[in-house]
Amino acid sequence: MPAEIFWNQQAALPLLALLQLLPLLGAAVVFALGERSAAVLAGKLFALAELLLAGFAASRIDPLLAGFQLAERIDLLGYHVAVDGISILFLLVTALLTLLMTLYGMSRGMISPGRLFAVLLLAEAGLVGMLLTVNIAWFAFFSALELWAVVYLLRRWASSRAETQALARFVQYQGFGLALFVAGCFVLGWGYAEANGGRWSFDLFDLTGTLPAGKFQTAAFYLLFYGLAVRTPLFPLHGWLPNMAQHGLIAVAPALMVGVKVGIYGMARFVLPLTPDAVLDWQPYVVGFAMAGVFFTAALAFLQTNLRRLLAFAVVSHTSLLVIGLFSLHGAGIQGAMLLAANFGLAVTGMWFVVGFVFRRTGTTELGELSGLFERIPFLAIAFLTFGLAIVGMPGTPGFDAAHLVLEASIARFGALSTVATALGNVAAAGFLLWGFQKAFLSQEKSGSYDVDRTQPMEYLVCGIAVTALLAIGFFTEPWLVLTDAASQALAGSFVR
Amino acid sequence: MKLPLLSLLVLLPLLGGALLWLLPARRARMVAAVTMFGVLLLATWLLVLYDPAGPRFQLLDRLPWLPDIGVHWLLAVDGLSVLFLPATGLLFLGALVASWNAVGEAQRLFYSLLLLLQTATLGIFCAIDLVLFFVFWEISLVPVYFLLARWGVVADAPKVAARYVLIMLAGGFPLLLAFVMLGGVAGSFDLTILLDRPADDGVQRIVLVLMLIGFALKVPLVPLHTWLPQFALAAPGSLTAVLIGLKVGVYGLVRFAIPLAPDAAQDWHWLLAGLGTLTLIYGAVGVLAHSNLRVGLAYASICHVGLAVLGLSTLSEQGVQGAVSLLLSFTVATGGAMLLLEFLRQRTGSTDIHALGGAARTMPMLASGVLICGLAGVGMPGTSSFPAEFLLILSILERYTGAGMAALFGLAIAAGAFLALYRKAFFGPVTRSAVAQAEDLRPREWVVLVVLIALIAGIGIYPAPWLDIVRPAAEAWAAAFLS
């Protein structure tokens, strides 16, 4: 049974409840304001307030304690929230990305921004709910809420005529993934009810006390793991992402789906502690698939002719690395995977922002039609490359220390050969990101090419914040290592053989 | 309170690079020049402060950076590295002069990237924490990529840039893996601690191979050299001069790969010697096979790097002293020659001998400059390379007579081949109008030439003070292999 500290011992207010209510309140206010200009301002302010509140919550917890903190409980509804260092890390990323998305949405001049911001804040509420709860059924509920918000975004603000197909594919995949996940929850809850005389519970704390045995655990593992694997997305279940990335809303929808790696978070929070034996049994297969995925998707990325699809494959490729780190079941590996998840989320969202800015100027993201943008928008080009280098794990970005930890764990668990293979996969990722960068930004200007606008202040701000955040975390990684250390060690502790 | 001089030196170019974004674009070149001059002065002062008779590592700066995983901001110099600091300062100033009118648009970006590269290079020479070293090592790729892709002198420069970065990233992973293994065993990445506690034999072997791969790519050692000729053709002259003039790859072998795996290096000295000899001969033959002066010079540098590695493989005091001196002489001679060839390219549009011929008639000073640098590269007595090559050949002949003979043979081929290229480019009748109309060196280029000649001749005629700085550190380096 994990330990927890209740909120009234650490803070004057139930911070986690506020964190969940604030974006909901924001969504309601912005929705009520309709398309007035105040709605846009209110949306930004709520996003900023949520970030500040998340920062405040981060300052209240003690990262050196392994247990859950700031806990809140209402038994009747099964409401149970608590955080540790890992959830705080994800929470900060979520709040920062939402704020950047509100700024981005304005600078790209989208239609009906008021409605957009309301849905965006609703999606944030869903993400925050997923990150804070320790009840697996609530996790599934918030997941559904967030997916609904994304579907609404895709329907209303899609940037291409082929969006219907992309949307259908998205709904099919995500609906299936969610159904698997819910079924997994059901298996776990049922197991608990069998053992406790018919009393059902989906609470992490209860469930860790009575783990399902044998094949029930395997079934639960498979259902939960594949449910989350679709969401993550993990090779070979990534079919929805390239289409959505190409035809859907350019930056906001992909950022909501893959900017915050809730799939990986869900695996760390629920799958590893609740099905430990099955995880140990299936670890080689999961890691094997992930290693294959790194290379397969890297190869596919090289074949893409559209910058947006290329980024989608970049996501799938690096998600495989996260899974390798997580399923090393090694303290350093888990910590590295969590930091990498934050790093990838921030970096890939930044890349998507730049692609959005490019699209606003050129009306296309086909690599064959873009050329010579570096001369016109050097800042955005350099920002794009910086994000790319962060994904590759360049020193000076959080990716470096995180990749270093994952490598260390990988050597310890899988041996030098697999580690070298994984590292080569990362070099392949560097290859296609550089290739895409050169095609879009550096290639010779073609005849009759467009005369694109220079970088605008809001674009400087959005990319500037993201680059600064990456570099600041990259050069001062220590606090982030401290934040995630105890929680990662605790998670790995149950797998010491 | 003691000033953190090394940190100041390493960060000064970075500050200059940031400062020039705050000033108007037309001031960028001036800010860069002042910063680089400041770096050179500071580096020279550090050389004065350095006491060759003192302890091994001096001017230590130490700050905790990631204490949880044993990583520190740890800078220090010893006799093997301290001379590289003024050499770096000098070469970057030369590179600045070579790019004076060649930048075109986006001046601020160009100069801030060049300054970032200087910070990374100085960091590589000063860092004695393995992870910190790796950070500088990898960060240097960013400015190189941009300088090459955006200011390259051939049409497919972006491709060459991407290829270079990918090859170097691929080489970075074995290095990182080796460092993580060493640090994981010892619980620290501090070089001074790791030197006192060598890892056990099995780890040493793996680590040596990994580091050899990583550094050999950068050096480059044959057969990992394929990126260099293309790179030398595509890059702007200032960048080629810096990357070919400053041999960070061999420095990595001297500083990390061999001392951190002493027993494995002793067992496998034949591997280093073989790679060195192969590289030497291959480089010499390569000079014969090319018609472009820049590529020829790149192959000549491959040849000499082979000699330095062959010298290192003797694991003797003379060998390492000769190798380090050769690298330093190289910074002046090859770096200088690359700069002069860039002056030539800016005038005639090419450095291929087919587009030249008779260039000495219209540009006598430039021609004599290239000749002096070339002779220094060949190891002519009286030039700066002579004492270094002498030490190297001596130590090699003593240890491996056969390889020593092969080395002499290879050096002779390289010298002959370079002189043949030189003759075709600079003598004979003038056939091209670009050559006929070219003007000789301008005053600011003249200054570069005078400094070059002064250094080449000065060190060549009176090498003792420089060798005295290197010797104590070389003794300490070789002492690890006596037991």
| Domain coordinates in residue numbering, chain B | 268-483
- Are A400 and B206 an interchain contact pair (Cβ–Cβ within 8 Å)? no
For chain B, report the end-to-end CA distance as a whole number of angstroms: 40
Closest chain B residue by Cα to residue A436: B162
Query: B174: distance to nearest CA of chain A, Å?
Result: 8
The answer to whether the Cα torsion of B291, B297, B300, B301 is positive or negative is negative
Q: Do A394 and B134 touch (CB under 8 A)?
A: no
Is the distance from CB of B255 to CB of B77 less than 8 angstroms? no
Render A12-68 in DSSP notation, one character per residue.
SS-HHHHHHHHHHHHHHHHHHHTTSHHHHHHHHHHHHHHHHHHHHHHHHS-TT--SE
Task: Say which residue, B180 or B115, is predicted with more confidence.
Answer: B115
Count of C-beta atoms within a 10 Å radius of residue A163: 21
Q: Do A394 and B180 touch (CB under 8 A)?
A: no
Residue of A nearest to B177 (CA): A407
Q: Which of B173, B182, B208 to mutate to test the interface with A (most CBs of A within 10 A)?
A: B173
Residue B104 contacts A where some CB pair is shorter than 8 Å: no
Mean pLDDT score of chain B = 88
What percent of chain B has pLDDT above 70? 100
Contact B28, B103 (CB under 8 A): no
Q: What percent of chain B has pLDDT over 90?
A: 28
A407 CB within 8 Å of a chain B CB: yes
A68 bridge partner residues: A4
Q: What is the ipTM of this complex?
A: 0.72
Q: Which pLDDT value is given to residue B163?
A: 86
Which run of H or of E encompasses B75?
strand B71-77
Output phi, psi for B126, to 5 deg.
Answer: -100, -25
- CA distance linking residue B135 with residue B130, whole number of Å: 9
At residue A389, the pLDDT reads: 87
Answer yes or no: do B180 and A404 touch at CB < 8 A: yes
Please list the alpha-helical segments (H only) found in B99-140. Answer: 107-126, 130-139
Q: How many contacts (CB atoms, under 8 Å) link A and B?
A: 80
From CA B31, how far away is CA B110, in angstroms rounded? 12
> Taking the CB of residue B278, how many other CB atoms lie within 10 A of it?
18
Q: How many CA atoms lie within 13 A of A182 on its CB side?
A: 11
Average pLDDT rounded to a whole number, residues B349-353: 81
Which residues in chain A are contacts of B149 at CB distance < 8 A?
438, 442
> With a CB-CB cutoff of 8 Å, which residues 447-486 of chain A face chain B?
477-478, 481-482, 485
Q: Does B56 touch chain A (CB under 8 A)?
A: no
- Tell me whether residues B68 and A478 touch, CB distance under 8 A: yes
Q: Which residues pair with A80 in a beta bridge?
A: A73
Per-residue pLDDT at B136: 93
Q: What is the pLDDT of residue B8?
A: 92
DSSP string, B34-65: HHHHHHHHHHHHHHHH--TTS-SSEEEEEEEE
pLDDT above 60 (res B1): no
Q: What does the pLDDT read at residue A479?
A: 86
Q: Give the side-chain half-sphere CA count within 13 A for B114.
A: 36
Give the residue with greater pLDDT, A259 vs B446: B446
Going by their DSSP bridges, the two strands A68-74 and A4-6 should be labelled as parallel
Q: Which residues of A touch B168 (CB under 8 A)?
A: none
- The more confidently predicted of residues A486 and B2 is A486
Q: Judge whether A421 is closer than 8 Å to chain B, CB to CB.
A: no
Give the nearest partner residue to B158 out of A401, A416, A442, using CB atoms: A442
Q: Which of A400, A424, A485 to mutate: most B Cβ within 10 Å? A: A400
Per-residue pLDDT band at B44 (split at 50, 70, 90): very high
Q: What is the per-residue pLDDT across B8-31, written as a single tens digit (0 to 9) for each?
A: 999 999 999 999 888 888 888 899
What pLDDT, on the 0 to 100 scale, is given for residue A194?
83
Residue A94 Cα, gap to closest chain B Cα (Å)? 25
Instruction: Name every residue whose Cβ is closer than 8 Å to that of residue B78 and which is 6 or more positions away in sequence.
Output: B56, B57, B58, B473, B476
Interface test with A, best of B150, B159, B177 (most A CBs within 10 A): B177
Q: Give residue for tokens 């240890």.
A: B399
CA distance A28 to A136: 26
A424 interfaces chain B, CB cutoff of 8 Å: yes
> What pLDDT was estimated at residue B87?
92
Name which residue leads in pLDDT, B270 or A244. B270
Residues B289-303 have a mean pLDDT of 88
Res A291: pLDDT: 85
Residue A195, pLDDT score: 83
* Residues A47 and A106 sit within 8 Å (Cβ to Cβ): no
Helices (H) and strands (E) in chain A, counts: 20, 3
Residues of B in contact with A413 (CB under 8 A): none
Contact B480, B403 (CB under 8 A): no
- Beta bridge partners, B63, equal B73
Q: What is the pLDDT along chain A (497 residues), one digit of tens a residue?
A: 467 888 878 778 888 888 899 999 999 998 888 778 888 888 889 999 999 999 998 888 888 887 888 888 888 788 888 888 899 999 999 999 999 888 887 655 667 777 888 888 999 999 999 999 988 999 999 999 988 988 888 877 765 666 677 788 888 888 999 999 999 998 888 888 888 888 888 888 888 887 877 788 889 999 999 999 888 888 888 878 887 777 777 777 777 777 788 889 999 989 988 888 888 888 889 988 888 888 888 888 888 888 888 888 888 888 888 898 899 888 888 999 999 999 888 998 898 888 888 888 887 788 777 777 787 788 888 899 889 888 888 888 888 888 888 888 888 888 777 787 777 877 888 888 888 888 888 777 665 556 677 778 888 888 899 999 999 888 888 888 888 888 888 888 877 65
